[in-house]
Structure 1
């Protein structure tokens, strides 16, 4: 059962509408996203790259650029150690392309998910020493690798950490002591004392800021800096960063450029996924392009995705893009199988009673744990850890709800874990198999969630009559894009509408098409994509319903009609 709430934040919506030449409904939507004051509203509506902070504000940036400029001058060998997900792959690409442009002797290593695990490990340091590497630059990892980086320093390596994950800490009597790795420079907005205003940059944007700072010092044209915006957008959406302030501007600018990208790999991926000639949105990054880039790191090697981004030959790019799409199709089937197994386990055991779900699927491919955890979280609306049996012990990923900081709760279980890291909303971990049941017990015992925290909340932006919808209003909604975490797609609602002429359509019978009629007789087209049999049964038993919806313009065979997408009903 869901609970519906109306967002009731107040402002002079008519005056804001007049000032910025927008509908008062648009003004209300902006206020609901906590954007207040003329300057912030102006940036939200019309912000550009010129409005984002410079890289020099990042703590550690001055030291990192000074070190790298010297290493480039001295022709020292630099190795970039990335990560196997979308953020890590794009961050690695940005660093290698940028450093090579500056004349560096640089190469890359992205750890293999199965054989290496996450981040910088001892074998990677030994390999760097063996290969004559002088300097290691991490991206999207390293902040929690104090032991490994300490060892690298003992062996004479220079280490620069660029990361965005939470800084590990020890808590004593409510006081947190943060543990930074002993690197030569650390760039991470979450480290204590960093003045950079946006604490929610993804790893690829942190890497891009480092390259931008180096480009500025070398007087490289702005146009070359902007070539990284497409990758910054892909990583920001793909790593589920809040689309607020700077992040939203970066994604908006990147999306503008993506259909016209000069990157042959991205061109091929856009083509193979059927997006050529389309307006690419944050949805397409999150659910079409991004999963293909991620798929190689899950089922094969992330080096394949990096090769795609680096590819200069159109034929080779087409082959690689086709491989990634095929891998993603395979990943989808395996995910569905793992999700079904997890639901069976929860429904048929006492797991269902737990507020924190710890689901152990030994046979599941460990790379799918995070996706399955996300699906289970959606179904049960509670924090979920999905654990799988790896080559060495148990590995897993977690996905959380807003009321539960997954990373902070794992800190309290550190004695049970071999490794862990992440964010409030997502985390990765590894542990001995004998500690699985202990972890489940501890997480649930220390949990402060209440039953009401687990009830899904539907936040309605504006209770708006369907008769108010117009083409102009729908077009103005695009000013609020890109949508995603922290800048959700607006949700409208109306009570007591009659559902008429409902019918099931689609090759797979997965869409209900109908019309909604209000009490004054106004009619609008509507579609619903959820559980179709349940929805049709609901309609057949009632004269009137209440709906939440999103309006859009349906363009079909040269005709344009207003319609609403029904999101929830009661």
Structure 2
């Protein structure tokens, strides 16, 4: 069940349309994204490199670059310490390649998810000391590592932090801290991922080291992968960086990435945000989840085609294993919820000891999507129970955990996602406490679907669909626009595809007709239509006969290309 909400902002769309030379419909969608200023709207539509900000505005970035320059000049050993997710791997790759290009004596380390945990730790620092490392630079971590960085500096090392996470009350005393979320940082865009911050760093480093400006473009495709996979908002600078990356990734010169594109069957295809977020990224991520993220980094760094294909195959198979584990974990969790008192809770706290801790967050997200209920999945860790949560807009997960902080040995996160560790005997106490203090209402737990515009079928054409391309790439913060129409008749229906999982409908609205496809649960759709209109009408629909079926629909608009022909179609998302 969803609540359908039509966005209806008060705005002079006619004036914006005239100034920008685009339709009022496109203006409405842009305003729905919170962009009301004409200059920002123009920048949104163009989304080119001229919209990127000067990296020198980022606090301590010039200082950090100056330190690295000096270390390169004096042949000091530099170690990059990243993280085990896609953003951490890509950030490490960007810094390593750029530093090596500048002649640095540089290597890298990535923590093991299970053995080391997140970010820089004392064992990594001790290893760096034993290896004669002079300087550590973190990427995608470090802003919260106060004690660890203090230990490194007291041991005589120089430490530079590059990060993008929220800044804690007390920050490390590093030699330079580069995180645009610092309160006194003047950088105008605060939502870069870790790889975005690393890219900004090397932009200035290349300039100072007199490396040709065009060489930084080799990193666009990698920044795009990290930006999409870290699920930061695809707005402003992030949108520009992802668009630039998508423009070049199909012609990548990176041997490892090329092997991965080939292994996943998308080499030569028009790569989209979907491919970055659901095919390429998860394969790189799989090594960090089920093995060691170093393999993902080695794939990107290798110059050997044979090694690249072997690593790509290994990552591809690891990701398939991860997918199977996730499906089983989701099924088992849903069964547990449906057959217990958990189903009546407003916040799910589900303890599944056998779930691999690296996929607990993914499973929490899938369960959250199904029930629209904030969900914590708990599993057995090394010496404790570990939990990972995914939330809904109405529930600030980090704040709610903070109210129970005495239960945890460690916790952290933000409003939409969080993680923690606690002793096994506190699991039931956590479930009871988190539910007793919540202020979530029945209305909060109803999923909201926000519609960008009501549009009659007669107004949908190729020109409409082509103009919508200005809005790409889509992602968090810039979702694919949703449109709605009421009382749509279905003239005929058919099921297609190799696995018979695609429903194709011929729709009529007034005197207009348009094709529609649906990738959802066809059995559920049929059951709904049969219940509302009767089985005879359902059969008439499939046989192309006159029927009495009329539905309200929410859909996307897109162009279908087949055998050189283009036609506009809609993609059904919700119906009633």
- With the shorter chain as reference, the TM-score category is over 0.9
8 Å contact kept, 1:77–1:135: yes
Deviations 1:353-401 (A, max 9, x none): 2222222111011111111111011011122121211223122322111
8 Å contact kept, 1:514–1:527: yes
Deviation at 1:435, TM superposition (A): 2.8
Deviations 1:44-74 (A, max 9, x none): 0113222221111111213312222222222
Alignment-derived partner of residue 114 in structure 1: 114
Matches for 1:440-519 after TM superposition, within 5 Å: 440-518=431-509
Over 3 Å counting, the alpha-carbon distance change for 1:412 and 1:137 in structure 2 is: farther
8 Å contact kept, 1:165–1:422: no
Tell me the matched-pair count.
560
Alignment-derived partner of residue 519 in structure 2: 529
CA distance in 2, matches of 1:81, 1:446: 39
8 Å contact kept, 2:47–2:239: no
Alignment-derived partner of residue 204 in structure 1: 195
8 Å contact kept, 1:524–1:563: yes
Q: Does 1:435 align with 2:441?
A: no
CA distance in 2, matches of 1:236, 1:62: 23
CA distance in 2, matches of 1:420, 1:134: 32
Q: Does 1:556 align with 2:562?
A: yes
CA distance in 2, matches of 1:346, 1:253: 44
CA distance in 1, matches of 2:409, 2:91: 26
Deviations 1:137-171 (A, max 9, x none): 11111122212222222222221111111223xxx
After alignment, is 487-496 or 360-369 more displaced?
360-369
- SS at structure 2 position matched to 1:271: helix
After alignment, is 118-127 or 236-245 more displaced?
118-127
Q: Does 1:183 align with 2:189?
A: no
Alignment-derived partner of residue 262 in structure 2: 271
- SS at structure 2 position matched to 1:484: coil
Matches for 1:248-397 after TM superposition, within 5 Å: 248-397=239-388
Alignment-derived partner of residue 13 in structure 2: 13
8 Å contact kept, 1:10–1:31: no
Deviations 1:95-125 (A, max 9, x none): 1111111111111111111111111122111
CA distance in 2, matches of 1:525, 1:2: 25
8 Å contact kept, 1:138–1:161: yes
Q: Does 1:568 align with 2:574?
A: yes
TM-score normalised to structure 1 length: 0.95
Over 3 Å counting, the alpha-carbon distance change for 1:388 and 1:13 in structure 2 is: same
Deviation at 1:30, TM superposition (A): 1.0
8 Å contact kept, 1:165–1:421: no
CA distance in 2, matches of 1:154, 1:339: 46
Alignment-derived partner of residue 72 in structure 1: 72
Alignment-derived partner of residue 411 in structure 2: 420
- SS at structure 1 position matched to 2:443: helix
CA distance in 2, matches of 1:53, 1:29: 25
CA distance in 2, matches of 1:81, 1:49: 29
Deviation at 1:231, TM superposition (A): 0.9
Deviations 1:253-283 (A, max 9, x none): 1111111111111112122222222221111
Structure 1: which 5+ residue stretches go unaligned?
A: 169-177
| RMSD across aligned positions (CA) | 1.6
Over 3 Å counting, the alpha-carbon distance change for 1:422 and 1:208 in structure 2 is: farther
8 Å contact kept, 1:144–1:180: yes
8 Å contact kept, 2:138–2:163: yes
CA distance in 1, matches of 2:479, 2:173: 39
Deviation at 1:567, TM superposition (A): 0.4
CA distance in 2, matches of 1:14, 1:270: 44
8 Å contact kept, 2:360–2:387: yes
Alignment-derived partner of residue 242 in structure 1: 233
- SS at structure 2 position matched to 1:486: coil
- SS at structure 2 position matched to 1:563: strand
Matches for 1:22-33 after TM superposition, within 5 Å: 22-33=22-33
Deviation at 1:498, TM superposition (A): 0.9
TM-score normalised to structure 2 length: 0.94
Deviation at 1:564, TM superposition (A): 0.9
Deviation at 1:343, TM superposition (A): 0.9
After alignment, is 140-149 or 420-429 more displaced?
420-429
